[in-house]
Structure 1
Amino acid sequence: MKLPPLKALPVFAAVARCNSFSRAAEELSVTQSAVSHQIKQLENYLGESLFVRTGRYLQLTEQGRQYAEAIGAALRQIEQASEQLRGHERAQIRLSVFSSFAVRWLVPRLPDLQQAYPQLDLALEMSSEIPELSDRVADCFITVRPDSTAYSYDLLYTERLFPVCSQRLWQQICQRVGLDPLSAHADSNQLTAHELAGFPLLSTHSIYNRAAGDWQAWFAAAGLVIPAATRLQHFSHMLLALEAARYHQGIALTNDYMLSTRADSADFVRLPAHFVVTGDVFYFAWKSSRRQEAGIQLLRRWLSKETIESGLRSHAMT
């Protein structure tokens, strides 16, 4: 059996993950020169350059990227088999998740996850963009782009947007349009688009990646356009728009997971008006070749249960 320099493999995996010799050295508690020596030894053995420097930044070559994918999986299998034999098995999983989903839905539920599966060591990798599905990024993902044939996917949620405002602004809306706040039902269409347009609208740019795109889609669902006289206030992220709504600054469009379990969800009123489906569908994604790993399956089962119990899965079927 002809093997590469085995001591160099975890060093290479750390550099590939950190994109830095110095950070990898810190993680491994060795010197940077020792890291550099191990990488050079491995490159000499393989006859390929694994990294390339672009200015101040370090990047994997294409050969390095392919090697990192294969080596990372092999090292995890070795670690898992060793821990099982020692009787100290812990499932260490990195989950890449959108920041808003993590903050408003996932993080409040982590104590329940830790209680149900104390052997699961979950590390969250926050993402503001659609993540690259790769072992170098995380072990599993919550994504809206199920486009890699190397991965398997569980449906979590089909996103829909509906208007919300603060309790105080809700009272003002009811007074102006002559609506009884006690009889209004969130799933009704008692408030028309024209009536909402008479109040400040808080827009989130990142949903449709254009100014007022969320409200344009919401009005379009009613066969209308935003009236020219409507006052719009713009925010880059839904978290910001929702905070502005909390402080009575206007009406925001939000989704189900943003108001799912947080105690402060009582600060908001879901208005009795129509909703719009954005087209984003959230999936839990894991590499098909890693489907037997205990940690991934534990997390998969728990997410499935939680999305059903919180109502997200029912909205996924809407």
Structure 2
Amino acid sequence: MAKRRLQLNLRGFQVFEAVARHLSVTQAAEELGITQSAVSHQLRNLTDYLGEELFERQGRSIALTRAGARLAEALDGAFDLIEQSTASTIGLNRRMIRVALYSSFAAGWMIPVLPEFTARHPDIDLRLVMISDPPEISDRVADVFITSEPTRRGYWSLRLFPEYLVPVAASTTCRDGFDRPVPLITSETDPVMVGADWEAFAALNDLDLPTIRDGAWHCCTHYLLALEMARAGMGAALVPDFMAFPALARSELRRLPGAALPTGQTYDLQIKYERRKEPDIQRLVAWIKDVVRRNTMSATHVTA
């Protein structure tokens, strides 16, 4: 006997999923390539069909109702499954893994060791996807995530290592360490938080911050920029140890004195739970674990 299905308005569910993801009719309309009035029309029809209010107004913004949140969660998984199946059918994701990660982690840790993985697994197409905080953790973005975010429900997580900041400067500058004032580069750009990283470092190492800082703060938004500013001779920067290690090994930077500063952040690998045993993903995870183990044994955390 042939299976019978409900006559569903799939377009309405697609429109709802886009609005729920963006919490914006305007952005959903832009993504779907339709007008805002068409989006509103589909939402009204779906609300009438389900007999449930899916959104509620909160000032000028919208929020999901309890029923809307349940539907959004169900549709997220359903659309992820459809996208995976479609991609597999047409061969888009065959032997391909998308890895989402921060720019600092990509440049400072992943890319330097990546040739080893491609040499071991030349048949796996590894694609790096840049993310920023807070990242969208979804199959629409990537297959594997390396983030500092709490593990999302439905995802398996593996702790890689904690984050430590170390002070570095160009080999030609700051030769006396902190014996005399030096320009300081901070990755804290919030006016209230400028220099908070150096304040914590100074407190940890019993240093008087006003005494060691020379001139105004040099501010940037990312560790990657701070590293390049230090390399350019603009002053001393606090950057993750794994980012500093290659430049220190090449004598492009000098490690300044002081204990490494723990930030309380960790780098964790996250994979959707039902995908963690896919053979290629297992190969990638095993390789990452091996690299982390070898780096730990080699004292990747640069000491004073």
> What residue is the counterpart of 1:187 in the other structure?
none
Q: Name which of 127, 131, 141 aligns with 1:126.
A: 131
2:11 & 2:118 partners in 1: Cα distance? 34
Residue number in structure 2 paired with 1:221: 204
Inter-partner Cα distance in structure 1 for 2:297 and 2:147 = 15
TM-score normalized by the length of structure 1: 0.68
DSSP-derived class of the 1:66 partner: helix
- Unpaired stretches in structure 1, ≥5 consecutive residues: 178-194
CA deviation vs aligned residue, 1:269-294 (integer Å, no higher than 9, x gap)? 22365323332221112343554567
Counterpart among 30, 51, 65 of residue 69 in structure 2:
65
Aligned to 2:148: 144
1:1-318 correspondence runs (5 A): 2=6, 4-52=8-56, 57=61, 59-84=63-88, 86=89, 88=91, 90=93, 97-106=101-110, 116=121, 122=127, 124=129, 126-127=131-132, 129-131=133-135, 141-146=145-150, 150-169=154-173, 173=175, 195-206=177-188, 210-222=193-205, 224-226=206-208, 228-232=210-214, 233-237=217-221, 238-259=223-244, 267-271=252-256, 273-291=258-276, 300-301=285-286, 303-305=288-290, 307-308=292-293
The one-letter amino acid of 2:93's match is R
Task: Decide whether aligned partners of structure 1 residues 102 and 204 sit closer, same or farther in structure 2, where only a CA change above 3 A counts.
Answer: same
Q: Give, in whole Å, the separation in 2 of the partners of 1:35 and 1:295.
A: 39
* Preserved CA contact (<8 Å) 2:187 2:226: no
Are residues 19 and 107 of structure 1, via their aligned partners in 2, closer, same or farther at CA, if it must alter by over 3 Å? Answer: farther
Secondary structure of the residue aligned to 2:211 is coil
* Structure 2 partner of 1:189: none
CA deviations over 1:9-32 (Å, ceiling 9, x no partner):
333333333444454445445555
Over the matched positions of the two proteins, sequence identity in percent amounts to 36
Unpaired segments of 5 or more residues in structure 2? none
- Report how far residue 73 of structure 1 moved: 0.9
Amino acid at match of 2:262: V
Q: Which has the higher contact order (CA 8 A, sep 6+)?
A: 1
* Greater Cα offset, 154-163 or 229-238: 229-238
**How far apart are residue 159 of structure 1 and its match?**
1.3
**Secondary structure at 1:74's aligned position in 2?**
helix
Mapped contact 2:184–2:236 kept (Cα < 8 A): yes
Secondary structure of 1:253's aligned partner: strand
CA distance in 1, matches of 2:238, 2:123: 37
Alpha-carbon separation, structure 1, partners of 2:248 and 2:166:
19
- CA displacement at 1:166 relative to structure 2: 0.7
Name the CA distance, whole Å, in 2 between partners of 1:46 and 1:117.
Answer: 49
One-letter code aligned to 1:229: T
- Calculate the aligned-residue CA RMSD, in Å: 4.4
Change (3 A) 1:263 1:162: closer
Pick closer, same or farther for the CA change 1:216–1:58 going to 2, 3 Å.
Answer: same
**Structure 2 length normalisation: TM-score?**
0.70
Distance in 2 separating the partners of 1:80 and 1:294: 16
Q: What is the number of equivalent residue pairs in this alignment? A: 292
Match of 1:183 in 2: none
Over 3 Å counting, the alpha-carbon distance change for 1:212 and 1:32 in structure 2 is: closer
